[in-house]
Structure 1
Amino acid sequence: MRTLNLKDYKIYLRDNGYKFTLKRLEILSFSVHYQYRFISVKLVIQHLRKASGNVRLDTVYRNLFLFRDIGLIETIFHEGENLFCLKSKLTTPSHFFICIKRSSETELDICIMHIMEFSLPNY
């Protein structure tokens, strides 16, 4: 599988009708650096404040949740905090094993939902 790069995410963002702003570029660039690992909003903000000095919390959250809504990133809620990770594929649904301690994920080659339907028929 080819690793996605910043250009791939930029094209996907534009194909979904959104502009590629400077803040979105900064957030995605930082996220690409941590590709396939979950990162916190706090880590993103610390990086952006070092890099450009001027960043608002609501801007970061708004963009991260936009990225989630259009399918650029995955989110999990762990120990009271949202964690974000760029998707390794942008077109097909994927299932992952997530290791919270190492802040990493491994894509599974099977569809967990089929197993869940069989194992939990009443849900």
Structure 2
Amino acid sequence: MNVSTALRILKKEGYKYTEKREDLVTLFAKEKRYLSARDVLNHMQKNYPGMSVDTIYRNLTLFADLDILEETEWNGEKRYRLSCSTKSHHHHLICLDCGKTLHIETCPMEGIPVGDTEFEVTGHKFEVYGRCGECQAQ
């Protein structure tokens, strides 16, 4: 996902373009890691001092609903990152210190036998948390 694709999705779904929304998506495109709402608010208030946490949460929720952002949770807090542009099925390694992610190309669901259980799997999420090499070195 990139900024222009995200803005095209917003327009296609009937949401208006605003400079603030573009700046928010640009932040995620630049950071390439999971960010909390507080991280986003701190960044956005530099250019928009009156911006509220409610505005941030509304836009983060909207962007997640439109699959512009991916959402996860750790330490009881939701975090967001720009959706992957990779169309192939994959999962992530997530650094708990800096929020950077790495792709895992294999899927652990392939080894879970659900075929004879009359249970239809409609989706799953697999994330591995730890510390990246840069954060370990600090």
Give the distance between the partners of 1:114 and 1:87, measured in 2 at CA.
23
Distance 1:39 1:107, change over 3 A: same
Structure having the higher Rg: 2
Q: 1:69 aligns with which of 65, 78, 92?
A: 65
- Corresponding position of 1:78: 74
Higher helix share: 1
Distance across 1 between alignment mates of 2:48 and 2:56:
13
Give, as a single letter, the amino acid of the residue that structure 1 aligns with 2:12: D
Once the two structures are superposed, the pairs formed by residues 1-123 of structure 1 within 5 Å of their partners are 4-35=1-32, 37-89=33-85, 94-115=90-111, 117-118=112-113
Contact 2:34 2:79 in 1 (8 A): yes
Offset of residue 91 of structure 1: 5.7
More moved, 105-114 vs 37-46: 105-114
Q: String of CA shifts for 1:53-86, please: whole Å, max 9, x gaps.
A: 1201111101101111111111111112111111
Could you tell me whether the CA contact under 8 Å between 1:77 and 1:83 is conserved in 2? yes
The more displaced of 92-101 and 72-81 is 92-101
Q: 4+ runs of 1 displaced by more than 3 Å? A: 90-94
TM-score if structure 1 supplies the norm length? 0.78
Give the TM-score normalised by the residue count of structure 2.
0.71
**Which structure 2 residue ranges, 5 or more long, are not aligned?**
120-138
Deviation of 1:50 after TM superposition, in Å, equals: 1.0
Count of aligned pairs: 118
Seen in structure 2, the aligned counterparts of structure 1 residues 93 and 21 have a Cα distance that, compared at 3 Å, is: farther
Alpha-carbon RMSD across the aligned residues, in angstroms, is 2.5
Q: What's the % identity of the aligned pairs? A: 26
**Structure 1 position 107, deviation (Å):** 1.7
Against the structure 1 CA distance between its residues 83 and 54, is the aligned structure 2 distance closer, same or farther, given a 3 Å change threshold?
A: same
